């Protein structure tokens, strides 16, 4: 018996980039224990978000076919969203790195990202995606979180 689970896995990876609101509000019980000193640990959903963004980048570099499937699953929209996560820098960094690869590989992604970000933020992003999170302000993060990018069909790639 053979099952093709790749589409389900890709879909779940894209979903992890945008955690449900209730998952970002509740904190693990251990972090609420009055006996334990207060630590500002990242929520598990943010760690998952960063891991999903990194995995998406790795898979996209391995295969243009997988990258195209991810784009059809709205990965561009969700990577932009997680780039705007001011609560967890690693999510911003990993999402930025993965999205930069997609922008350089697929002109249609680049076009939509440029339009969604605006020229200034786009230039900052493309010049240094790894460090964008350090220079981004709250207004720029809001632009990323509220993006409406939707790429219906993928037609061209740069080899």
The 10s digit of each residue's pLDDT in 87-134 is 999 999 999 999 999 999 999 999 999 999 999 999 999 999 999 999
The 10s digit of each residue's pLDDT in 121-152 is 999 999 999 999 999 999 999 999 999 999 87
At CA 31, angle to CA 50 and CA 28, rounded to 5? 60
For the chain, what are the domain ranges? 6-22+43-145
Predicted TM-score (pTM) of the model is: 0.85
User: How far is residue 15 from each of residues 75, 91, 109, 124, 128, measured CA to CA in Å?
Assistant: 9, 14, 19, 26, 26
């Amino acid at each position: 018996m053979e099952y093709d689970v790749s589409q389900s896995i890709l879909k779940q990876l894209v979903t992890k980039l945008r955690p449900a609101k209730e998952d970002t509000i509740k904190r693990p019980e251990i972090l609420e224990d009055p006996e334990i000193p207060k630590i500002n640990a990242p929520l598990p959903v943010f760690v998952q978000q960063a891991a999903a963004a990194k995995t998406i980048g790795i898979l996209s570099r391995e295969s243009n076919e997988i990258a195209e499937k991810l784009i059809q699953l709205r990965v561009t929209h969700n990577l932009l969203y997680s780039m705007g996560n001011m609560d967890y820098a690693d999510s911003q960094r990993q999402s930025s790195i993965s999205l930069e690869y997609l922008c350089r590989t697929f002109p249609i992604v680049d076009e939509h990202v440029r339009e969604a970000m605006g020229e200034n933020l786009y230039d900052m992003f493309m010049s240094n995606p790894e460090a964008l999170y350090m220079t981004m302000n709250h207004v720029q993060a809001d632009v990323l979180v509220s993006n409406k990018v939707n790429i219906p069909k993928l037609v061209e790639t740069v080899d």
